[in-house]
Amino acid sequence: MADIHDVDVVVFDVLGTLVDEPGGLRAAMREAAPASGDAFVEELLTLWQRHVEREQRRIARGDRPYANTQTVDAEAARRVAGVVGLDDPAAIARLATAGQRLPPWADSAAGLERLARHVPVFGLSNAGRTALLRLKAHAGLHWHRTLSGEAVLAYKPAPEVYRLAIDTAGCPPERVLMVAAHAWDLRGARAAGMRTAYVQRPAGDPPTGSDAFDRHADGLDELVTALTAG
């Protein structure tokens, strides 16, 4: 089981792991269409998420040149705006930046601060570089390095994104711990040779019985306590 003595750097996924991505997007949908009921908001959220997932898969297959999350989110915002009849350019532009205003989970800021006293901490995200910096500031999150898949023109779980974190850490992959609420993300990290820690979140992708991650935690406080014990 990995602890702070087994790793030189801890790398955190951001979207869904440190911030509530679905919750933040729902709030943006309600702002854009105030009269919408909960069921309709969920339909809009699904429309947004499916567009993002589809475009990221197209990019991964080589069917589309790389486009960062600011571009893809703007496309999703226009699709949502079309459904709700939103035609105010300023309102559509604000909706397009919803991914830069996601709320942190209650334990994220304090957990990062505690862990950063013991080991270098990176944020590794599919969010574009500018979007990631704005999100970091909005959510009040602090880490030593900000790493975006935009730097390698790819989205996780592409191996080059994890290699970016490993190369930046400057140590063997088995000395780098990847923390995420998404099993698919941790599988990608594990394939790259990294250590892995799953943190449960309401909107995460839980492990299956065949996943063999180094640690499982119900929240970030629990994980940080376990890593720094002793």
Neighbours of 85 (CB within 10 A): 7
Whether 159 and 66 share a structural domain: no
Smallest CA-to-CA distance from 80 within 122, 26, 130 is with 26
**81 and 134 belong to one structural domain:** no
Instruction: Note whether 175 and 83 are same-domain residues.
Output: no
Which of helix, strand or coil describes residue 217?
strand
Q: What is the model's pTM?
A: 0.95
- Specify the CATH number for the domain of residue 220: 3.40.50.1000
Based on the domain organization, do 192 and 107 belong to the same domain? yes
Strand 145-148 versus strand 195-199 pairing type: unpaired
Q: Give dist(CA 228, CA 230) in Å, integer.
A: 6
Task: Give the distance from CA 179 to its chain's centroid.
Answer: 10
Tell me which of 50, 75, 100 is where a domain ends: 100
Between CA 147 and CA 126 the distance in angstroms is: 9
72 and 168, same structural domain? no
At 88 the three-state DSSP class reads coil
Residue 50 sits at the vertex; the CA angle it makes with 45 and 52, to the nearest 5 degrees, is 100
* DSSP calls for 195-207: EEEEE--TTSB--
Residue 187 and residue 112 share a domain: yes
- Examine the domain organization and report whether 209 and 106 are in the same domain: yes
**Residue 67 has what DSSP assignment?**
-
Compute the CA torsion angle 53, 73, 99, 20 (nearest 10 deg).
-20
Paired sense of beta strands 9-12 and 145-148, if any: unpaired
Which residue bears the tokens 């205003």? 101
Tell me the two tokens of residue 117: 């006293």
Question: One digit per residue, pLDDT tens: the chain, 230 residues?
Answer: 566 678 999 999 999 999 999 999 999 999 999 988 999 999 999 999 999 999 999 999 999 999 999 999 999 999 999 999 999 999 999 999 999 999 999 999 999 999 999 999 999 999 999 999 999 999 999 999 999 999 999 999 999 999 999 999 999 999 999 999 999 999 999 999 999 999 999 988 999 999 999 999 999 999 999 999 86
Q: What is the reported pLDDT for 6?
A: 87
**Cα–Cα distance, 51 to 49 (Å, whole number):** 5
Query: Of the residues 100, 134, 154, which one is the last residue of a structural domain?
Result: 100
d(CA 132, CA 21): 13
For residue 1, the model assigns a pLDDT of 58
Do 86 and 137 have their domain in common? Answer: no
113 and 207 share one domain: yes
Q: How far apart are CA 202 and CA 191, in angstroms?
A: 25
- From 82, 100, 118, give the residue that closes a domain: 100
Q: In the chain, how many domains are there?
A: 2
pLDDT at 161: 98
Which residues form the domain of 55?
Answer: 21-100
Do 69 and 27 belong to one domain? yes
Same domain for 16 and 59, yes or no, is no
